[in-house]
Amino acid sequence: MYKPAITAGIIFAGLAVLLGAFAAHGLAKTLTPEKIEVFQKGVTYQFYHSFALILLGIVWSAFPFKSVDAAMLMFISGIVLFSGTLYVYPLLEARNIHIPTIGRLLTPLGGLCFIGGWVLFVTGVLKTSN
């Protein structure tokens, strides 16, 4: 087991539950349905990658390679950048706060982190210990 990945996955999964409940109950009167949908998309991807972190932590004992370690960092970066921006943008837009173009590039960068994490994960699993 790789405890840092499992711990991160559990923490991010718990936060996803809190953020999902906040979107469903706390933001219903503040945001439009479209903005809540964007927020919930962040929750969904955070859940997927929280479980990926937990799986990675379990799989790591059989494949303890640096690429698997790097996948953990990429998944965490993806959660922060991709999901994080999908939480912040609707809240800022609801308050008519302009988001600069450079800020909008963080979401696809987070998506690339997710993709990179999966590539690194499979690379580590395909390595042999011989």
For the chain, the structural domain boundaries read 3-126
Average pLDDT over the chain reads 93
Q: Global pTM?
A: 0.92
Q: How many helices (H) and strands (E) does the chain have?
A: 6, 0
Residue 129 has pLDDT above 70, yes or no: no
pLDDT digits (tens, 9 = 90+) for 105-118: 999 999 999 999 99
Q: How many CA atoms lie within 13 A of 84 on its CB side?
A: 14
- pLDDT of amino acid 123: 94
CA distances to 2, 84, 88, 96, 113 from 110, rounded to whole Å, are 23, 9, 14, 24, 5
